[in-house]
Copies of this chain bind each other. A is one copy, B any other.
Amino acid sequence: MKRIRAGVLGATGAVGQRFVELLTRNPWFEVTALTGSERSAGRRYGEACTWRLSTDCPAEVRDLVVQPSEPNLDCDVVFSALPGSMAGPIEEAYAAAGYPVLSNASAHRMDPDVPLLIPEVNPDHLDLLATQRARRGWDRGCIVTDPNCSTVGMTLALKPLHDAFGVRRVVVTTMQALSGAGYPGVPAMDSLDNVIPYIGGEEDKLIDEPRKILGTLDEAAGAVQPAEMRISPACNRVATRDGHLEAVSVEFARRATVDEVIEALRAFRSVPHALGCPSAVEQTIIVRTEPDRPQTRLDRDAGRGMAITVGRVRPCEVFDCKFVVLSHNTIRGAAGGAVLNAEIMIAKGMIP
């Protein structure tokens, strides 16, 4: 198969570097274009970018010249790691110019005609693209978003439970990693020996995004009917590098034993894996039964960072069930998720 030529918008930042790392290792893609800020544009990527991952900056991209964010890149698809404040109009410009845009930014996530996609959960929401193109007058281009990093793990875990038992109410407390704040992000003075019980804007995303993702596509309306569940989040920043750990309590519409919950989680099958997507893992939801797992450091890399790990499934004294879920926030919860979104679109013949 001929490799898809990929561009990365905002390639020098933390998420941009993850995109570059994942795409250069991915058998379906080659990286042919990178954009950056005015300060970076015109310089070689290897120079413009202070590489912060523990792997080396891939040799094949070091000599690519960083370009400004104008929609005339030499590529088949673009991945957007743009900051939320800038992403909106730039991503639209790319889509209007014919590029499929796989975005990690929040700008368009809640637009009614934009899929907010976890390919294992709601691949049918890609049908929104017909509406999107019709409404916006776009030809081949489109925008597909992936959810916020704190949304992905919990929503993946809720999917089989919602299908089996009906999720009605959720109380969730997150313990989120530093890399979720980008770079430079959180000052070390605020992180060492501390927990910060607040992440700006995060709780709102965790209230709304899972409901859209778990919602029902209304083809007539060209929109998603959000799932009828209420979610109460409390978001905290802790001193871990990668990996968002979340303590979740769930009320179901139907009764379910702990064993039934575990069985439903374990029975979950990955559509993109069945379609051969290289970033997908066979077992998206790993259930561990040791009393003290998942732990952030030990389990965040499970399934190359694309699996989530659920543990401590036990009865809830207030609702029906509670558990802990861990996901890798910059792989599963950011760049890796957007790459998988592109892969399922390729597998379905929607790209290029």
Give me the interface of A with B, judged by CB distance under 8 Å. 14, 52, 54-56, 169-171, 173, 175, 178-179, 183-198, 200, 207, 230-234, 236, 238-241, 245, 247, 249, 291-302, 311-312, 316-319, 322, 324
- The reply to whether A197 and B292 contact each other, CB–CB distance below 8 Å, is yes
Residue from the list B231, B301, B319 in contact with A317, Cβ < 8 A: B231
- The reply to whether B189 and A245 contact each other, CB–CB distance below 8 Å, is no
* Most central of A170, A178, A189 by chain B CB within 10 Å: A189
- The reply to whether B232 and A249 contact each other, CB–CB distance below 8 Å, is yes
Q: How many monomers of this protein are in the complex?
A: 4
- The reply to whether A296 and B193 contact each other, CB–CB distance below 8 Å, is yes
Q: A188-B239, A200-B291, A236-B247 are known; give 10 further A-B pairs, CB within 8 A.
A: A54-B300, A56-B302, A173-B247, A193-B296, A195-B245, A198-B312, A207-B317, A232-B322, A234-B322, A239-B239
* 13 A-B contacts (beta carbon < 8 Å): A175-B195, A178-B189, A185-B187, A188-B190, A192-B193, A194-B240, A194-B296, A195-B240, A197-B324, A198-B292, A234-B322, A236-B245, A239-B239
What distance in Å separates the Cβ of A178 from its nearest Cβ neighbour in chain B?
5
- Cβ-closest chain B residue relative to A318: B232
Residue from the list B241, B299, B300 in contact with A189, Cβ < 8 A: B241
Residues of B within 8 Å of A234, CB to CB, are 173, 247, 249, 312, 322, 324
- Cβ-closest chain B residue relative to A242: B193
Residues of B within 8 Å of A170, CB to CB, are 318
- The reply to whether B236 and A175 contact each other, CB–CB distance below 8 Å, is yes
Known interface pairs A170-B318, A236-B247, A298-B194. Does A52 touch B189 (Cβ–Cβ under 8 Å)? yes
- Cβ-closest chain B residue relative to A245: B195
- The reply to whether B240 and A193 contact each other, CB–CB distance below 8 Å, is yes
- Cβ-closest chain B residue relative to A319: B232
- The 6 A-B pairs of least Cβ separation, nearest first, read A173-B173, A188-B191, A184-B187, A234-B247, A198-B292, A232-B318
- Cβ-closest chain B residue relative to A184: B187
What distance in Å separates the Cβ of A217 from its nearest Cβ neighbour in chain B?
24
- The reply to whether A194 and B295 contact each other, CB–CB distance below 8 Å, is yes
Residue from the list B183, B191, B312 in contact with A197, Cβ < 8 A: B312
- The reply to whether A189 and B184 contact each other, CB–CB distance below 8 Å, is yes
- The reply to whether B295 and A197 contact each other, CB–CB distance below 8 Å, is yes
- Cβ-closest chain B residue relative to A251: B318
- Cβ-closest chain B residue relative to A324: B197
What distance in Å separates the Cβ of A151 from its nearest Cβ neighbour in chain B?
15
Separation of A295 and B191 alpha carbons in the complex (Å): 10
Separation of A171 and B239 alpha carbons in the complex (Å): 24
Separation of A169 and B317 alpha carbons in the complex (Å): 9
Separation of A301 and B55 alpha carbons in the complex (Å): 8
Separation of A301 and B54 alpha carbons in the complex (Å): 7
Residue from the list B188, B295, B298 in contact with A187, Cβ < 8 A: B188
Separation of A301 and B324 alpha carbons in the complex (Å): 30
What distance in Å separates the Cβ of A252 from its nearest Cβ neighbour in chain B?
14
Separation of A247 and B200 alpha carbons in the complex (Å): 16
Residues of B within 8 Å of A230, CB to CB, are 317-318
Residues of B within 8 Å of A195, CB to CB, are 175, 238, 240, 245, 295-296
What distance in Å separates the Cβ of A256 from its nearest Cβ neighbour in chain B?
16
- The reply to whether A295 and B232 contact each other, CB–CB distance below 8 Å, is no
